[in-house]
Structure 1
């Protein structure tokens, strides 16, 4: 697939951490900018500005895990350092982003939390040995599901907290309650469905387990893992619809590519039964992406050589 550069004057990116469609434009998360977010108006091909001050204040951000699409105008994000969920909405009348804190969290082992439905939240983390949980409006878990993977009994004996770190990834939930989770350092795709506040497993696609060792240099009570640098990074990002799952895949190892291992040159396409429908090869690897099926466009950020906003036509099928 051939890319096209979207030329936006004044858009300067440092370390992109996510991109999502929001209103008539794109919200781009940037860990190395003065502010946390950039907003680009796609219709006008215009850089609107930076939003989301960084800091400890009530309306500020430290480290959102990812950007989650919520509806056509709203994007949410879980700030793992502040342990709170924020909703971001584009105010087209005043040409600015509005953000509000939806929920303060107390579970330090929540990696990502997403608002879902009426007064519910879905999380990925380490919840009493489970990968996923549904929470009520008070943050109380009402259901848990998903045991962290292990390829044999030796891995099973590793602390669940270290396995949780080894099998981190990206979670997405559709408005109808379909949940997808893809791991970064193992080639695995988990597919669940939310039914009446319960998590029901539909399919787990396992192509490769993680290869890692617990790191106890900080003491036996600390949790950290070291991955095998000879093996490739797998799924870096996800974009989902009610019919399809788009998984951004690297296939590069640290041994061969260094930090460029995180640049992803492939997009796997699955249905919700876990069947692979397509594999797209990109002429320019992406750091993060989002898929706009309605417009038939894949948006992403690529190093070219500086972080650059690009797009690809979504193949018709």
Structure 2
């Protein structure tokens, strides 16, 4: 979980002081996950246990490719495998400050309109893109897009959709926006109240290592919360974003990091880690939820053997019980496959897993 703590601290170094928004709504109520939820036991097999991952943070799936985002790798941050047999194909995204190189990469995204793999480099303040090969005879090509748009110090994530990029930000008023040629157009600024301490602390809770996902049709979006488990579900219509549902599961427990402006939160011994990863389809939301503290069981806190499935109304429909703890994952709903990353205590190495499930068994 080093990345989870390193990146928020690194982002702090990019902060500028801005006004603090206010919110008059009362804090939302927290509802634990139902114990009686239907459970599906999911068998798994190992696809690759020989590649020397350093700290795999995300798995992206595109066509027949599995793209592992390895933030701490000193050479390249993306490693590409076949989703059929787990065979390693190539790496891309070298560390450095030259063309096609990255220093502080954040959550990557894939734009199928031009087969591009993109990420925001928080240190260089630029969008870095690579065109993925269409066949084994092609090679990866570097595509530069834009650099230093206004407000770029506030970016935490970019999300590709239909040739454009949505932006998740972490300083008021930018929560969600859209990347334009040399600026960002703010689309949405509000946050539900997970804590009543103040607006800055509440915003920081939501922005501590969140994941934001948009459906393939661009009509729905979800953002996860890591300090305390929560999910916020949105609808999108012509770039107008509306908050539909907040699933607040575990209250946040945190400390205020001394001397930060805006105020920023950090973990404490009593922090129950929330959503470790979230993936979506047009039908369902898949959330890997920990609800463990770092002190009670550090290894368990870094992963989970449960993926909770919700429909887009926010209703829990199933709990997938995995045979291994995983730390990140990707879902191929049409084929009933989950690809997950697990840490093997015996070898001290990460393993790429393939997990079977059946979405047709989910409660309607």
Partner Cα separation in structure 1 for residue 146 and residue 102 of structure 2: 14
CA contact (8 A) 1:193 1:202 kept: yes
1:97 corresponds to which of 107, 124, 140? 140
Structure having the higher strand fraction is 1
Partner Cα separation in structure 1 for residue 314 and residue 199 of structure 2: 29
1:280 corresponds to which of 308, 313, 320? 320
Q: Could you say what secondary structure the match of 2:188 adopts? A: strand
Q: How far 1:309 sits from its partner (Å)?
A: 0.6
The answer to whether the aligner puts 1:113 opposite 2:158 as a matched pair is yes
Quickly say closer, same or farther: Cα 1:37–1:299, change in 2 above 3 A.
Answer: same
Quickly say closer, same or farther: Cα 1:239–1:175, change in 2 above 3 A.
Answer: same
Q: How far 1:237 sits from its partner (Å)?
A: 1.0
Q: Which blocks of at least 5 consecutive residues in structure 2 are unaligned?
A: 1-41
Q: Per-residue displacement from partner, 1:218-238 (whole Å, max 9, x unpaired)?
A: x35475423232232111111
Q: Could you say what secondary structure the match of 2:295 adopts? A: helix
Q: Corresponding residue for 1:201?
A: 243
TM-score, normalised by the number of residues in structure 1 = 0.87
Q: Per-residue displacement from partner, 1:178-212 (whole Å, max 9, x unpaired)?
A: 11111111211111122112111221111233111
The answer to whether the aligner puts 1:16 opposite 2:56 as a matched pair is yes
The answer to whether the aligner puts 1:136 opposite 2:177 as a matched pair is no
Q: Which blocks of at least 5 consecutive residues in structure 1 are unaligned?
A: none
Q: Corresponding residue for 2:109?
A: 68
Q: How far 1:130 sits from its partner (Å)?
A: 5.0
The answer to whether the aligner puts 1:54 opposite 2:95 as a matched pair is yes
Quickly say closer, same or farther: Cα 1:241–1:222, change in 2 above 3 A.
Answer: closer
Q: Per-residue displacement from partner, 1:126-179 (whole Å, max 9, x unpaired)?
A: 242453223434323142233253432xx12545664454x5411011222211
Q: Corresponding residue for 1:310?
A: 353
Quickly say closer, same or farther: Cα 1:210–1:312, change in 2 above 3 A.
Answer: same
Partner Cα separation in structure 2 for residue 98 and residue 294 of structure 1: 29
Q: Corresponding residue for 2:337?
A: 297
Partner Cα separation in structure 2 for residue 220 and residue 20 of structure 1: 33
CA contact (8 A) 1:249 1:264 kept: yes
The answer to whether the aligner puts 1:35 opposite 2:80 as a matched pair is no
Q: How far 1:30 sits from its partner (Å)?
A: 1.3
Q: Could you say what secondary structure the match of 1:208 adopts? A: coil
TM-score, normalised by the number of residues in structure 2 = 0.77
CA contact (8 A) 1:78 1:112 kept: yes
Q: Could you say what secondary structure the match of 2:301 adopts? A: helix
The answer to whether the aligner puts 1:229 opposite 2:269 as a matched pair is yes
Quickly say closer, same or farther: Cα 1:220–1:115, change in 2 above 3 A.
Answer: closer
Partner Cα separation in structure 1 for residue 170 and residue 239 of structure 2: 19
Partner Cα separation in structure 2 for residue 194 and residue 161 of structure 1: 21
Moved more, 259-268 or 175-184: 259-268
Quickly say closer, same or farther: Cα 1:237–1:150, change in 2 above 3 A.
Answer: closer
Partner Cα separation in structure 2 for residue 163 and residue 296 of structure 1: 33
Partner Cα separation in structure 2 for residue 262 and residue 173 of structure 1: 25
